[in-house]
Amino acid sequence: MILAFDFVKKFEKFEDKVWLATPTPHPEMLEYIKDAYDKNWMTTAGENLNEVEKIAAEKAEVKYAVGLCNCTSALHLCIKLAGEKLYGKPAISHGALEGKKVFCSDMTFDATLNPVVYEGGIPVFIDTDANSWNMDADALEKAFELHPDVKLVVSAELYGFPGRMDEIKRICEKHGALLVEDAAEAMGATIDGKQCGSFGDYSAISYNGNKIITGTSGGCLLTNSLEDANQARKWSTQSRENAPWYQHEQVGYNYRMSNFIAGAVRGQYPYLEEHIAQKKAVYERYKEGLKGLPVKMNPIVDGTEPNYWLSSLIIDKNAMCKQVRDDSKALYNPEKGKSCPTEILEALATINAEGRPIWKPMHMQPMYRLHDFVTKSGNGRAMTNAYISGGVFDVGADIFDRGCCLPSDNKMTKEQQDRIIEVIRACFE
């Protein structure tokens, strides 16, 4: 508390809050929405939706995109497609993955793997690679050794900084497993020049309000299979059969993207590259501005080109002051020359700037306490919830302990970012 007060005295607050990431309006959005209005295509069909599906597939270098109401529903249909391909069509009241284990990214947003649970699957969490902050390929290999029956992997790219998803894909192929790629945060990022979203047997992208481009909401399922794209589209529109009346042979969902939302998304696509360039500039200013501090920015893996969606930092081990977190609170002891994410986030809040802790790893979440968790060195169980610095034995918990996301809005001014950098520097004084 005393520390926060010092910051208020030392640094003036921004009048307008600097957010983590906000939508960037472009006038074309309104034009396309107005077009839908004028032509009265105010429904879940229309030209905007057709165009978004075309553009999304082209940009991601896949054959087909299916426009859906968000990325979570896209992931759900990805997982359902994969599940039915692997295990056949389930009985009506059962999930496609009923009782089956599925390897999942551990350090990600829970939306990555919620759909595994919707379909009755059991997530097994795969530890994170310290050099990429994405799923660890060695831990995945280890997981196939420990659970040779597993046939499905769900892997996400973190904060728009991909790891070697091609390597994850190769391991899946070797073990006869399917890959669902959650590219929600990584649209426009590439691995050896190949677009994120093109690596999975089924992939998903997001147009949520804080993503690199947005339609306020929305998402697409991406695939190279026409049959699967058609099945996903059918599920998303209540699974109607081709008949004069409402005829149903399978359970349906109301997941289709609205033609208004599609208008907004369509108006954003021309700006994807511009947003990426702005986000890259933000990342590089942080990198330059934080030079000399005992911190590192998100790693950039050889051969990859991030979309720089969220700039994040990690504090060197020996520069961490003592920090303790339980299920809802965090405490720390300020120390000269040292800091911790809690201190940095509190300091940023005092000047009205928004940072965020790294995604809390799934194996540390109370609901997954009893699930398997596989690190490079073998099988583990979820840890206790009270987590104390220095007690780490897995990479995800360690990055969660020492890392945080920085204000990464592409509309932040250079002056605002300079002051944010100043406040972070002051934490280490």
Ligand X SMILES: *Cc1c(COP(=O)(O)O)cnc(C)c1O
Q: Which parts of this chain interact with ligand X (CB under 6 A)? A: 70-72, 108-109, 111-112, 156, 182, 184-185, 206, 208, 219
**Angle at which helices 27-38 and 259-268 pack, to 10 degrees?**
150
Contact between 251 and 92 (Cβ < 8 Å) = yes
As measured in angstroms, the least distance from the Cβ of 134 to ligand X is: 11
As measured in angstroms, the least distance from the Cβ of 275 to ligand X is: 15
Q: Which is nearer to ligand X, 183 or 320 (CB)?
A: 183
Q: Is 311 exposed, middle or buried (0-12, 13-18, 19+ CB in 10 A)?
A: buried
Instruction: Please tell me the distance from the alpha carbon of residue 217 to that of residue 410, in angstroms, as a whole number.
Output: 19
As measured in angstroms, the least distance from the Cβ of 182 to ligand X is: 5
As measured in angstroms, the least distance from the Cβ of 355 to ligand X is: 16
Q: Which is nearer to ligand X, 129 or 182 (CB)?
A: 182
Angle ∠(172,56,105) on CA atoms, nearest 5: 30
Q: Are strands 194-195 and 202-206 parallel, antiparallel or unpaired?
A: unpaired
As measured in angstroms, the least distance from the Cβ of 68 to ligand X is: 9
CA atoms within 13 A on the CB side of 74: 33
Q: Which is nearer to ligand X, 214 or 416 (CB)?
A: 214
Instruction: Please tell me the distance from the alpha carbon of residue 72 to that of residue 75, in angstroms, as a whole number.
Output: 5
The single-letter code of the amino acid at 289 is G
What is the arrangement of strands in the sheet containing 312-315, beginning at the earlier edge strand?
A: 295-297, 312-315, 403-405, 356-357
As measured in angstroms, the least distance from the Cβ of 72 to ligand X is: 3
Instruction: Please tell me the distance from the alpha carbon of residue 136 to that of residue 146, in angstroms, as a whole number.
Output: 15
Q: Which is nearer to ligand X, 81 or 290 (CB)?
A: 81
Q: Which is nearer to ligand X, 48 or 108 (CB)?
A: 108
Q: Which residues contact 280 (CB under 8 A, 6 or more apart)?
A: 306, 308
Residue 152: which H helix or E strand, with range? strand 152-156
Torsion-angle region of residue 22: left (phi > 0), alpha (psi -120 to 50) or beta?
beta
Instruction: Please tell me the distance from the alpha carbon of residue 165 to that of residue 157, in angstroms, as a whole number.
Output: 8
As measured in angstroms, the least distance from the Cβ of 110 to ligand X is: 8
As measured in angstroms, the least distance from the Cβ of 254 to ligand X is: 15
As measured in angstroms, the least distance from the Cβ of 266 to ligand X is: 17
Q: Which is nearer to ligand X, 106 or 346 (CB)?
A: 106
Q: Which is nearer to ligand X, 198 or 323 (CB)?
A: 198
Q: Which is nearer to ligand X, 108 or 408 (CB)?
A: 108
Q: Which is nearer to ligand X, 112 or 258 (CB)?
A: 112
Residue 404: which H helix or E strand, with range? strand 403-405
Q: Which spans in 119-181 are helix H? A: 137-146, 165-174
